[in-house]
Amino acid sequence: MITAQVLPTPIGSLSLLTREGVLVAAGFTADPTEMFARLTPALQSEGLEAVDDLGAPAEAVRAYFEGDLDALDAVPVSQPGSATRKRLHEALREVRAGTTVSYAQLAEAAGLPRTAARAAGSACAQNLIAPFVPCHRVLPSTGGYGGYYYGVPVKEWLLAHENPQKLS
């Protein structure tokens, strides 16, 4: 069974979905079924149940928004993808709060050539576990914020929260 909790945050509701204590989806939506629909058919077949408290993942979210910017790092996550995509998602989790990388730098951090920036962008676009897998910390080398599944204003807010001196 997939269990879900919706938490209020300063930038809107955040839905968390877990399976056996491991986060399988998270996103800035008040409707966890939106995240559930993005899961694999195998996970969807387990069903979805709303709960009042997911425990550690919910505590990590509260701590993160209260200023403990490393709180999300300890929460175990799992999402589908090719070996390359999994390496890119793992490399994303190594990008520390308050810092950003380019898509080419993310590719390099995952052991790929810098020319794999498109693959890095695709991994960010397909990320099911925001902000725990912090694709908001990846910016285009050409400047600006690039895209973000939940909207550029959410990306900008998260970056400012993590590094208020740089972006305020």
For residue 144, give the amino acid letter: G
Copy the structure tokens of residue 151. Answer: 């909207």
Long-range pairs, 15-23, Cβ under 8 A, ≥24:
16/54, 16/57, 16/58, 16/61, 17/48, 18/54, 18/57, 19/43, 19/46, 19/78, 21/55, 21/56, 21/76, 22/76, 22/77, 22/78, 23/57, 23/75, 23/76, 23/77, 23/78, 23/129, 23/132
Beta carbons of 96 and 133 less than 8 angstroms apart: no
| Catalytic-residue membership of 135 | yes
Annotated catalytic residue within 119, 135, 138, 158: 135
Q: What positions carry a catalytic annotation?
A: 135
